[in-house]
Every structure is written in structure tokens, then in C-alpha cells.
Structure 1
Amino acid sequence: MSDVLKNSIKQQLKALFLLGCCLGGLPFFNLGVVATEDEVPTFFSICVLAPVTCNWRNVWSTLIVEQLPKIGIGIDVYDATGYVNIAPRVWNYPGPYPIPPYAEGGFDLLFFTWYWNLDWNPYGLFDSSSITPNGDNFYQYSNPKMDLAITKFISAPYFDDQLFWGGKIQQYLYEDLPQIALNYYSILIAHRANLEGWDPVLWVNDRCTMENWSIPGQSVFRYAVPDTFDNFYIYDRSYVCSNKFLAQIYPGLLYRRPSTGRHQFAPYLAKDYNTTDGLTYHFWLNPDVRWADGMPLNASDVVYSYEVLANVSSLQNWVWPHPLLTNLSITILSEYELEITLQTPSVCANNLFTLPLIPKHIWDSIPYADQFVQANNWAITQPNKIIGAGPYYLEEYDNNTNIIHLKQNEYFSSWNSITPHFTDIYFIFQNSQEVALNALAAGEIDMLDSEFFISIEQVPEGAAYTKVGTGYVTEIAFNNLHPILGTGEACPIAGSASAKHIRKAISYIAPREIYIAEVLEGKGEPGVTQCPPIASIYNTSLEPLPFDIERAKEEMRLSGFEYESSHPSYVIGYTLPVFLALLSLFGGTIIFLRKAKRRVE
């Protein structure tokens, strides 16, 4: 292209640019009418109480405090503090009762995070009889329909009844909003892309045995953990990194059926069981079940295991007590048949029967108080003592390298009908996230424990990841006796319905999707009620409320609070002139380029 042509192109581009500027300047002479947003009045003010122990929750409290004035709710006090200052205002309030608003020593609303597993249980939290100080219902929420539903739920021995009444409880929470669920949390597990047969939810909750796991063409599985192994005693659950490998050794009478939406209970070491009244459970043991040393598992092993469970539940290290352990009796009917009788029907009964069993012939001579220490000693000196009836047993523990070697239980397939795909499983300590990720990338590790807390961007090329829901739920808890947020007696339209509208308005100003995307990097789900999605009774028919300021304002109006009407004002309109300018610029450029092309040719 000649210099003359170059200069010509520059001149014409300048002309087109000037034309666009002129046409684009037309909006300054064009007036359009649009609505401007008036300043929102402050209808009332509240005090916000928020623990400072979790950064993710701190972001939530800050977000909501910024949003509340947009719908007319002012902030008198934003008290971000520790639980030592929160407890005396809420669940440890010293009285007199009821718990008053924040200004009088109680609370207005509180940011709080619950942890639930697969068995969400609302008893003690939302029934009228458990209002503080009689229980943990610090919400001071009372609804006769809820009381009936909770009573039915906690005494329901059959899953269909639990599902029905559990769904009702969630429906009442969704409608009444004594608390607002903001979000549920998820975690990422990085693993080999061709891993099959595992149930992520059960695995995260330490309820998953590995007999169904497989990687095509592979007989050995290697699992990385971020901490050392300090516990080999199945009845101590305080050591997170030990729970998953111990679950491969010690199963229970029942288990959670994997790869089903509800993870319902089913027989495992038991061959069958039933109940007609929710009090007495009849168990038939599988006579073919053997401990990993070949000894038969019988009814006396079950009795002994539950005796140990009941006695060690008071020990310092015990973090898995079960409320029914001390309120049951066991009758041996034969070597492989027994009855377990509860004092009262309980929704927790099936969970009780998943508790792990240990072989009496190995542990009977060890006092209850010494069993924790003995298990840790045996792991090093006599690993053949760390056996159960599960698909694997402890072959070796190298306390220098912190590697656990599990070996396939040769007796397992004789009664279970499943032969585990992996003959050997290694749980391997990796001292950093980087080391573990490099090992996964190199094919030296098949899965990383969720406690490495990786992000999606960190997953190595060629590997895969699974996002798994946890039982963590962050919520806004309301004082349901607060004169505005609870009883509504101080609202312009006095009554509990107005208070409910205000709580719903606050739910609408929670930007759940944005929070999950930006703060949690996608590792979460919008909150609906306190019951997490991993719970077996989760009500899938309920939907989270969207982020919508206008709908929040409408809820406030239903409580009697009125916003000033927006007034039209004159502002500059750009739409049509800018469109014409761009069109002219675009069209002129096309014509010019065509001419330039012809000149070049």
C-alpha cells in the first residue's frame, strides 16, 4: 500500500470519527423523561449480632447490613463479636424471660451457622416446649402446627412418615420464616477422572465403605490426607482424618444405601430387621458374616459393642454420643437373632443401628477407659488386632511416613456377594496442598481429601473434581418476640402477619447467587430452610427466594410501611441518536473500506 493511500485512509477515518462524534453529540440536545430513585426513608432501626469466627459468614453480615437501609431498615448497632458475648444474649440468656430485644440485653437478629449431617432433626429448636430456657429454641418461635409436626416426626419409625412430617416442618419454616437460610456450603474433591462406584455425599459424611469403588485396570487405590493419623479407635470420632479409613473396617447392623437420592437405611451386617411399633426392633444376623480373622460375628458381639458405646460416650475424647444408647435394652433370642427395645419411639432409631460393631473376642479384656490408647498401640505393634467385618482391615501402619495400608478382607465376599475391586488401599499423609495436587497430576494419588480445600482452578489437567454438599447452613435467626421482627405489634399494621412480611423482605435482599459465585467460588447452594439438601428428608418442592429489592419493598408495604412515590425528572436520552451515530460510523467505514480495497486492487 502506497504512502498516498495510507494518508487517504487516515483522513477518511478522521472524517468518519468526526461524523460519529457529531451524531453522538445530538443527545445533548435531546430530552427524555426517566424516573429517578428517591431516597428511602428509615422506618425503624434494629441491632445486628454477628459472630466473627468465620470470614464467609462475616461477608454475609456485612452484605445484609448494607442492604437493609435500601428497604427502610436502619442499623442502630452492628455488633460483630465473639460467642462469649453472644451466648448471654441468646441461648444462655440469664433471664428474666422471654429473651428481649438487643437494647434490653437480648437480640434482634443473629447470623449463625449450623452443621447437620444426613439426619437433620428440628426437635428442640422449633417446638414451643423448647423455647429457651427449656431448650434450644432461642428463636422463641411458636406454632401449634409446627409442634404437632415435630411430635409426629420424632416418633415416626418409618421413613415414609419421616419424609412426610419432615417435609411439613420445612414447609412451615418456609412460610413462617423464624429464621432465613442464606446458603448451604459445598466442598470440592479432586480425583481420577475414571473413578467409579463411589457416593460423594456418604463419603464426605464418613458413611461410605469402598467395596463398590473402582478404577478400570487398577487394583490399588491411594488416598491423600492433609493430617497425620492419631486415632485407630472407632469409637472416637474427634480425629477427622481417621474416620474414613476406620469406616472401611467397622460397619454396623445397618448402613446408608449408596447412590440413592434419599440414602435410606438398609441391612448390612444384619440379614434383615423389622419393627411393628417403633419400640422393639427384631434383628436377624447373617450367619455367614465373619470378622476379618475368620471368627463368626454373633449376637454377643452386638450386645458387647452397644455396651462399650454406652460406656465410652462419657469419655473426654468421645464426640459421637447417641441419645438412645442409655435408653435401650437388648435381648438375645439365639446366636444370630436379637431384639433391641427403646423406651420411646424415635426418628433416630435407624441411625442408632448404623453404629459400628467391634469383635468382642478382641476387646473384651480391655477396660473401656483404656481402649483408645490400646487401639493406637496395636496399630503399630499388632495391626492384626484392628479388624472388623468390613471390606478391609489394617494391614500396616507406618508411623514414620504416616501411611496406612488396608488389605481386602478375604471373608467379606462370602456373605456380602460383592468382591471389592481394590485389593489394597493406602491412606497417605501429604504435608501440603501443592504436594498433594502434584501427586494427583503425576498419577501417584487417586483422590484428595476435601480437607485440602482446593478450588476448581487448582484441579490438575486430566483429573476431575466433584462438588459435594455439606451439612453447613448459614442463617439469619430472628427474635420472634421482637415487637417489629417477631410479633409485629409495633408495625403500622399491627400483627404477626406484618412481622412475617418484614422477615420475608429481608430474605429478598439477600443476594444468594451472587454471594455463592463471588465469595464461595461456586461452592454452595442458595438457602431455603435450615434443613440442608444432603438430609434424607429434604423437601425438594421448596425454592429459594431470589434477590429482588422491589419485591422486598412490596413486603414492607404489606406491613404498613409506605415509600414516597418516584417523580419523573428530565434527563439526557441517548438511545436513538447514539444508535444513528454508530450506524453512520459503521456504514461509512464499510463504504470506505470497500473503496480502499478497490484502490489496492
Structure 2
Amino acid sequence: MSTRSSSNVTPSRRTVLQASLASALTAVAGPGRAATPFFKLYMMIPNNQPARMVWGTLAAAQMSRIGIDVVSSFAPFTVIGPRRAKGDGKTHVDGGWDCYLERYLYSSIKPSPYALFGSTEMPPNGQNFYYVDDKEIDRSLRAVDSSLNEADRLKAYHDFEKRWYDIQPMTILFYPQDVVAVNPKLKGFDATTYTPTFYPQPERWTIEGAGADATAAFASWQPPSSLIPMYSIGYSDSNVFGPAYNRLYEYKSWEDKTLVPALATGHTMSADGKHWVVTLRQGVKWHSGEEFTAEDVKFTWDTMMNKAYGSQLQAVCARVFGDTSAYKVTGKHEITVDLPTYSIDFLNTLMGAFAIMPAHAYKDIKPEALRSHVASTWLGSYTVKTSDGKSFTARGAVGTGPWIPMGFDPARKAYGFKRNEAYWKPHTGNVKTFYVVNINGTDSVLSALKAGEIDAHDPMYDIGPVVSTIDPKWGKVLTFDSYKWQHICYNLKHPVFGLGIETPLGKSDPSRAAEAAAYIRQAISHAMPREQIVKEIAGGYGNPGTVPMAWSAPEYDHDLLKPIAYDLDLARKYMEKAGYVY
């Protein structure tokens, strides 16, 4: 973590980005487009991140330079999400999608590419929204997931990276740094929040001079889609539900990314990695006062495994467990698991990234009703009965976490929390009331920080290019390695750049259709001015991208993954390899 600050110049975010785009377009000027476009592509650019809207516009312009007719539009994820989640592979004109931009990450700090790119993880019950279906990638992902030996696993990661680098299933543009500004009086904000395993952690916050009963507010750009953990791992959802729940294991800190016990106290594992006995923490209470037991863990896994609930995490659970007979309660605070084969995702993802849900509070909610229930929307209240005959009025999630939800305030656009005084580990800060506030726009969030209306915000505001406008008297700028990447996603069932069957090469020789599609994606990749995007649009906060692996992760093969050259002539040669003629 580092701090940066600068002068008091105050151009608007839009002014800065417009200048950045103009500069970038000038810098990357090159050969003109084909006289007649070779094919049409619809690109959806999410409208919730200003800088991404700029490099999305630039990316569309660059594609046109190599003969692709790009129809781009700014769209919210409420539009993009349903199109990509259907799982039918249809193109944009048929109600699906062709291409969109995304900022993404793995569910755990230990990279788990199988869950995103394995051919068994397709939607609607998996997260491979892109339809990556490549035998070599699958082979390497299985080895990553099943290797007990660290050296074997590292080789498998590198095999995955090499194959990805060669066929470019997506265009990885760059690895961003997370840049946020906080109240200078705020102490204890020591981790980036845009990852499912690191939520805002106000139980650690101290606001200097605020006494023992401080109130804090955190800004999140986009309203959540669902506040049931198994329905989303996105930042807009986890920013809100994260403080209410716990996982079996958690990370010690952002600096020390070591898994440590949380609701679990430990586990044993057999030599072959299949047999596990997980011991659970005793004395933990749900917000309702009900005792946390192994039945809650079983309920959580049962619910995620049940396709009727429609969780996008169902596929990874089914891959790891096989079926629900793999785990059983063997004591009030013990659960025993027999996996069909060892999986790294059991510890790192299922136990280290997914929150545990309360059986007593959620078990009677029908699958078709869960997404619209108060437990998911935090609108209104509902009554939870406990085993001792008492009643608890819930205004959102019922968790074991450090913060008890107080519901959503529509007038304030804020989700409220009060401190859980019965939390199983001590609060170390002075914050007793906490809000997550939805604020749209970088200028708006910085104005709110300057006015003292918020104390911190998530990284989606992309303040990097405007840090010079932040006076250190009201804003302390922090930078973090994000462990994420920004990429252009492709529907790999698209007949041109996904399957290749509608390319000239694919039509003349169907056995080479997939090869032709890869040529097109390689062409697009070489048409992207990554260094210019990082420098001119991201404010220098990042590194040019190659593959979906965090730049600073130990698994990233820096010897293999050389920068992808920006070269329009080379891009055109790849288009010609696919059979197109300029």
C-alpha cells in the first residue's frame, strides 16, 4: 500500500478523460480501415466505470482499423448480465451477446481459473460466460485443480498461460492498480475492497477525533443485484453483504494473503487429498442469537448444489463435491468431506471465498422466492424464529459477521449497519454505525469525500487520472495491487471470432475454423495500444495485459508472457491468415 497526493487543480473527470481519449487516438493513428468491413460485431461497454468507457471507445475504433464494423453502446450490467447468463450462446442480434468489456478476478486469491474457463463451468449454473472450450486449456486446468504437489501445480498454471497466450480467447488489456481516496482521519483501511474475499472492514476502522461511537460511510458505485452471497461475487454486491457474513476461512490481510481459520478452526486432510475433517468454531451466534453449527455449513452447500436455486456457483460446487453425499455432519461442530478427487478449489474457493448462510433463517424460503426475499433485497423486514422459541426481526441478511444489517434507506440510497456487539472476535476500531452509500460518478464521490459525507470508496471510481485534484487536507490517496485484469470478452460460440465457421478460411476448410477464429482474436489483440491505454487513460496505474492472471501473482510466468506488441500491420496479417483480403 502506498500514498500519493498532489495539487489543487480541479478539472472534471470527464474533461480529463476526454483529453486522454483524444491523446490516445492521436497516438495510435495508423492504417485506415478496410474499404468494406469484413463482418459486424456488437460491443457492449459497461457504463459504470468512466475510464473503461473511454478505452472501450478506443478499442472499438482500433477494431475498425483492421476491417471490423463495430457497433458499440454503453450499457449497464443489468442489461449485459442477463444476455450473458442465458447459457445459449446466441449472438447479440439474437438476444445474446458478441463482445463486452469487463474488469474481472478469481473468487480466491489463489488463482482458480477452472471456475471461469473450464468447459464444464458454462452458464446458467457456472461462470464460464465466455464459452471457453479448449482441450489444452481444460487439460491444464484439471492439473491446476488436482495437483497436490506445488511444483506440478505451478507447471500447470504456466501451461494454461502459454495456451491462452497462443490463442487469445479474450483480449487482456491491462492489469489495473486500485486507487482510492479516504478520509485522512481514517485509520485501518488497509485493503482494496473490490474482491469477494476483502469487503469493507469497518470493524477495523478508527476515525480520529470521533470518540468511541463513530459513524462511517463507504461509497459503492453500482446498486447490488442480489445480497444472497451465492448469487454474486461482484463488488457491488459483496461490498454490501460482505460485512454481514463470514466464511470458513479468510485471508489474514491484503499484505499477507494467507488463509487463516474463521468459522472453521482447522481441518485435517488425507494424504491423497480426498478425505477432510473440518472442525468449526464453537460459541458463534447468528445475528438472531441462534447458535452456528455444522448444519449451517451443510445447508449452505446443499443450497448451492441445488440447481433449483440457480446459483452461478453451482457448477464449481458440483465439480468439487460430485454430489451432496460427499459431505456429512459428524458432530455439532464438525463436518466430514470425502471428495471424488483432490481439488484446490475446496479449500481456496468453497471454504475460503464463499460465505456461510443460516439454515434456521433461510431454509423455509422457496428457491423461486429467494432472489426477491428481504434477505436478498434488504427492503423491509421479516421474522426469524430461533430454536429457543424467540423471534428476531431481520432487515436484510442474517449472518455471523461483525455488522448487523439495518436495511436499505431509499432516500439516502444507503445500506445501514450497526455493530454486532456479540461478534466472535473483537472490533478493533471505534465505528459503531456504518453505511454503504450508492454514489454514481467520480466527481460526485470526490465531492462527497471532500464534504465529509463518506470516509472511503471502492476502486471502481477510477480516480487515478485525477489524483492531482485531491487536496491531502480532505483526501488521502492509496494504491493497491488489484489482483484483477481488464479485458475484452468474446462470445466464443460466435460463428466468426468464436467458432470460425463463418470466416473465409473456416468455410473453405472447416477443419481449420477454430484456427481462423484464433487468428481474428490475435489480430484484435495486436490492434490494442495497451501501453497507451495505461499511460493516457488509466493515469499510469497499471501494467499491459497478456493473460487472465494477476500481474503480481506468484503463478504469473514473467519469463514466458512477453508484452503483446501494438502492431496494426501484424494485426492485418492475422486477419489475412483467417482468409480476409484488404
TM-score, normalised on structure 2? 0.65
Query: How far is 1:58 from its partner?
Result: 4.0
Question: 2:521, 2:369 → 1: CA distance?
Answer: 52
Q: Which amino acid aligns with 1:328?
A: T
Query: How far is 1:182 from its partner?
Result: 3.1
Superposed, 1:476-487 pairs within 5 Å as none
Q: Does 1:388 align with 2:399?
A: yes
Q: Which amino acid aligns with 1:359?
A: P
Contact 2:170 2:489 in 1 (8 A): yes
Counterpart of 2:323? 327
Q: Does 1:61 align with 2:60?
A: yes
Give the secondary-structure state (helix, strand or coil) at the position aligned to 1:171.
Answer: helix
Query: How far is 1:484 from its partner?
Result: 10
Query: How far is 1:163 from its partner?
Result: 4.1
Q: 1:61 to 1:546 in 2, by over 3 A?
A: same
Give the secondary-structure state (helix, strand or coil) at the position aligned to 2:356.
Answer: coil
Deviations 1:238-265 (A, max 9, x none): 996453232111112122443247x454
Give the secondary-structure state (helix, strand or coil) at the position aligned to 1:348.
Answer: helix
Q: Which amino acid aligns with 1:444?
A: E
Counterpart of 1:279? 274
Contact 2:121 2:315 in 1 (8 A): no
Query: How far is 1:383 from its partner?
Result: 4.0
Q: Does 1:289 align with 2:299?
A: no
Contact 2:180 2:479 in 1 (8 A): yes
Q: 1:91 to 1:225 in 2, by over 3 A?
A: closer
Q: Which amino acid aligns with 2:105?
A: N
> Which of residues 362, 377, 381 is equivalent to 1:378?
381
Counterpart of 2:162? 171
Greater Rg by CA: 1
Contact 2:43 2:99 in 1 (8 A): yes
Counterpart of 1:584? none
The alignment yields a C-alpha RMSD, in angstroms, of 5.4
Query: How far is 1:392 from its partner?
Result: 2.1
Q: Does 1:514 align with 2:537?
A: no
Counterpart of 2:7? none
Give the secondary-structure state (helix, strand or coil) at the position aligned to 2:244.
Answer: coil
Contact 2:192 2:458 in 1 (8 A): no
Q: 1:555 to 1:278 in 2, by over 3 A?
A: farther
Q: Does 1:461 align with 2:475?
A: no
Contact 1:238 1:319 in 2 (8 A): no
Query: How far is 1:175 from its partner?
Result: 4.4
Superposed, 1:216-231 pairs within 5 Å as 216=208, 218=210, 220=214, 221-226=216-221
Query: How far is 1:205 from its partner?
Result: 3.6
Query: How far is 1:328 from its partner?
Result: 3.0
Question: 2:566, 2:181 → 1: CA distance?
Answer: 32
> Which of residues 426, 432, 435 is equivalent to 1:424?
432
> Which of residues 543, 563, 574 is equivalent to 1:525?
543
Deviations 1:360-394 (A, max 9, x none): 34445555555552434327992488442222223
Question: 1:127, 1:397 → 2: CA distance?
Answer: 37
Q: 1:524 to 1:480 in 2, by over 3 A?
A: farther
Question: 2:260, 2:301 → 1: CA distance?
Answer: 19
Query: How far is 1:460 from its partner?
Result: 3.4
Q: Which amino acid aligns with 2:435?
A: F
Deviations 1:129-167 (A, max 9, x none): 999xxx979899867x65532331233467765444223
Query: How far is 1:397 from its partner?
Result: 5.6
Superposed, 1:440-451 pairs within 5 Å as 440-450=449-459
Contact 1:118 1:471 in 2 (8 A): no
Unaligned runs of 5+ in 2: 1-30, 47-52, 74-79, 92-97, 384-391, 578-582
Contact 1:192 1:464 in 2 (8 A): yes
Query: How far is 1:543 from its partner?
Result: 3.5
Query: How far is 1:273 from its partner?
Result: 1.7
Question: 1:553, 1:368 → 2: CA distance?
Answer: 48
Query: How far is 1:268 from its partner?
Result: 1.3
Question: 1:397, 1:553 → 2: CA distance?
Answer: 50
Give the secondary-structure state (helix, strand or coil) at the position aligned to 1:302.
Answer: helix
Q: Which amino acid aligns with 1:250?
A: Y
Counterpart of 2:143? 152
Give the secondary-structure state (helix, strand or coil) at the position aligned to 2:173.
Answer: strand
* Greater shift in the superposed pair: 284-293 or 449-458: 449-458
Question: 1:548, 1:203 → 2: CA distance?
Answer: 33
Q: Does 1:356 align with 2:355?
A: yes
Superposed, 1:107-256 pairs within 5 Å as 113=101, 116-119=104-107, 122-123=113-114, 146-156=137-147, 162-175=153-166, 177=168, 180-184=171-175, 188-193=179-184, 195-198=186-189, 200-205=191-196, 207-208=198-199, 210=201, 211-216=203-208, 218=210, 220=214, 221-226=216-221, 233-237=228-232, 241-256=236-251
Q: Which amino acid aligns with 2:476?
A: A
Contact 2:303 2:309 in 1 (8 A): no
Q: Which amino acid aligns with 1:301?
A: D
* Greater shift in the superposed pair: 232-241 or 245-254: 232-241
Question: 2:362, 2:571 → 1: CA distance?
Answer: 65
Contact 1:267 1:273 in 2 (8 A): no
Give the secondary-structure state (helix, strand or coil) at the position aligned to 1:271.
Answer: strand
Question: 2:362, 2:169 → 1: CA distance?
Answer: 48
Give the count of matched residue pairs.
488
Question: 2:133, 2:440 → 1: CA distance?
Answer: 46
Contact 1:225 1:427 in 2 (8 A): no
